[in-house]
Homo-oligomer: A and B are copies of this chain.
Amino acid sequence: MRKLFPLLVLSLLLSSNAAVAEKAAERGVNSERLMLAGDRPDPSITRDGDTYYMVHSSFEYAPGLLIYRSKDLVRWEPLVNALHRYVGSVYAPDIVKHNGRWYIYFPVVTPAHTTNMVVWADSPEGPWSEPVDLQIGGIDPGHAVDAEGNRYLLMSNGYLVPLAADGLSATGPARKVYDGWEFPKEWDVEGFCLEGPKIRKIGKYYYMLTAEGGTAGPPTSHMVVVARAERLTGPWENSPYNPLVHTYSPDERWCSKGHGTLIDTPDGQWYVVYHAYERGFYTLGRQTLIEPVAMTEDGWPAAVARPAKKQPAKQETAASFSDDFSTDRTGTQWQFAGEYDPQRARRENRTLVMQARGNDPSDACPMLFVTGDHAYEMEVEAQCAPEAVAGLVLFYNPKLYTGIGLDKGRLAIHVLGRAESFDVQLPRHVWFRLRNDRHVVSFWYSPDGRNWTKADKSCETSGYHHNMAGEFLSLRPGIYAAGYGEVVFRNFKYKTL
């Protein structure tokens, strides 16, 4: 932390927002920081001693609820998945430690219904329980405990639901306790959308951070607002410094900033962790950011960072996604879209053997991963059973993807979820390459991994994102196997351009 914010002393109590901002500028704390790149939305973060744990919405990707661990809020290690089944679309979770046990509360949305579930474990490393259906409506549960030790969930739209002592069932009806903060009517937002409550007790007050304005749509849509109360049932008093986090102009680097959790360091510095889209790269999904906050004299967390305008010349990127399949990265890197069958793919002698599913990428439940890169290239070697097909894909959802693959022995290029078959014969043992250079996507194929031919078709994918296709997803790179039989993948290579 000291390397990033060398002169930062946030234990200072400052009297006003403007003064806080001025002080921060003097200290060089001039903007929000990208903490976890790529599609890591709806972060929930907590600290246990000197260790931080964070979890995000999983949406359609499984296994889900990947827990990240960090000692410094800079380096994050993927630890373990707390959800090993596909249960529907997993919205904003909350990770908490309570009486020595760990819980993750999360909403589950399917076409048929919306509910909320919980998994628990005695340690963040797991093993995590099977999901328990709490059978309560609303979304975005935030866990809280009152002065008497009773447990509750704060839900979207300001509802409070009492929980049993073990936290595994609801014990009464939801009750409205908070109406949100009324933001200026002239702001361009998606709607009121009071959601993502996260509770933190500081002194005599419960502080509740909620998201408003909608998570996507206009770049100025989202925000984090603060309210406090002495009791969970209220009355809740809105902060005079609201919003704590917000994108004020479409010219900022980070769009639709919102959905925050307060976190403090062992030495008493305060931060807010939230998510945002990167301007021009909505395709990457909502990325996890962090910025310092100051506690004011009148006891409110207040913004001190100044928003960044420009994208850095050099991208922050660290992870290597190349995979020779010598170890199992399921869950920590790879996820399946729309299902999870642990029996479907196995690692053998530095290969990944995957059972085919469906007919093409749309129903093949492809195996994908999250990247934060603006430009990258990937390759894979695939050996297909006689009636299997395979390829590389950038997948948003079953209707919206692009990719290259086999199609009945011929080259197929997929654009906007539709296949175009080319008059090019491909062998069943074939190599594919896909390049995504700032939304310009191009394709290559090779019979031997050495002699490459560029396909005659490229496409442009800047619009493959939530504002066009909904569902809060991202355009994720990966591989697919469809048709019948098995596909043997080797040497998945990835590089940042």
**Which residues does A use to contact B, with CB under 8 Å?**
185-186, 188-192, 216-221, 250, 416, 437-438, 440, 442, 454, 456-465, 467-468, 470
With a cutoff of 8 Å between Cβ atoms, the chain B residues found around residue A459 in the complex are: 190, 217-218, 467
With a cutoff of 8 Å between Cβ atoms, the chain B residues found around residue A186 in the complex are: 454
Nearest CB in chain B to that of A186: its residue: B454
Nearest CB in chain B to that of A468: its residue: B463
Closest CB-CB distance, A154 to chain B, in whole Å? 23
Closest CB-CB distance, A191 to chain B, in whole Å? 5
A190 to B191, CA, bound (A): 38
A280 to B157, CA, bound (A): 36
Nearest CB in chain B to that of A463: its residue: B463
In the complex, are the beta carbons of B190 and A458 less than 8 A apart? yes
Copies in the complex: 2
In the complex, are the beta carbons of B185 and A460 less than 8 A apart? no
Closest CB-CB distance, A401 to chain B, in whole Å? 13
In the complex, are the beta carbons of B463 and A465 less than 8 A apart? yes
Known: A250-B438, A440-B218. A467 touches B458 (CB 8 A): no
A462 to B463, CA, bound (A): 7
A57 to B465, CA, bound (A): 30
Known: A218-B440, A250-B440, A438-B250. A189 touches B456 (CB 8 A): yes
Residues of A contacting B: mostly: loop
Closest CB-CB distance, A172 to chain B, in whole Å? 28
Closest CB-CB distance, A446 to chain B, in whole Å? 14
With a cutoff of 8 Å between Cβ atoms, the chain B residues found around residue A216 in the complex are: 460
Closest CB-CB distance, A313 to chain B, in whole Å? 14
Known: A185-B454, A416-B470. A460 touches B192 (CB 8 A): no
In the complex, besides A217-B460, A221-B458, A464-B468, 20 extra interface pairs with C-beta distance below 8 angstroms are A188-B440, A190-B457, A190-B458, A191-B456, A191-B457, A216-B460, A217-B457, A217-B458, A218-B442, A218-B459, A219-B440, A219-B460, A220-B440, A250-B438, A416-B470, A459-B467, A461-B467, A462-B467, A463-B463, A463-B465
A337 to B188, CA, bound (A): 29
With a cutoff of 8 Å between Cβ atoms, the chain B residues found around residue A437 in the complex are: 188
A463 to B456, CA, bound (A): 24
With a cutoff of 8 Å between Cβ atoms, the chain B residues found around residue A462 in the complex are: 462-463, 467
A442 to B464, CA, bound (A): 22
Nearest CB in chain B to that of A435: its residue: B188
Residue of A185, A188, A219 with highest tally of chain B CB at under 10 A = A188
A461 to B438, CA, bound (A): 19
- 8 closest pairs, A vs B, by CB? A463-B463, A188-B458, A463-B468, A218-B440, A218-B458, A460-B467, A217-B460, A218-B460
A437 to B220, CA, bound (A): 12
With a cutoff of 8 Å between Cβ atoms, the chain B residues found around residue A463 in the complex are: 462-463, 465, 467-468
Nearest CB in chain B to that of A457: its residue: B191
Closest CB-CB distance, A52 to chain B, in whole Å? 33
Closest CB-CB distance, A289 to chain B, in whole Å? 20
Nearest CB in chain B to that of A188: its residue: B458
26 CB < 8 A contacts A-B: A185-B454, A186-B454, A188-B437, A188-B440, A188-B442, A189-B458, A190-B457, A191-B457, A192-B456, A217-B457, A217-B458, A217-B459, A217-B460, A218-B440, A218-B442, A219-B440, A219-B460, A220-B440, A221-B458, A416-B470, A462-B467, A463-B463, A463-B465, A463-B467, A464-B468, A468-B468
Closest CB-CB distance, A464 to chain B, in whole Å? 8
With a cutoff of 8 Å between Cβ atoms, the chain B residues found around residue A456 in the complex are: 189, 191-192
Closest CB-CB distance, A412 to chain B, in whole Å? 14
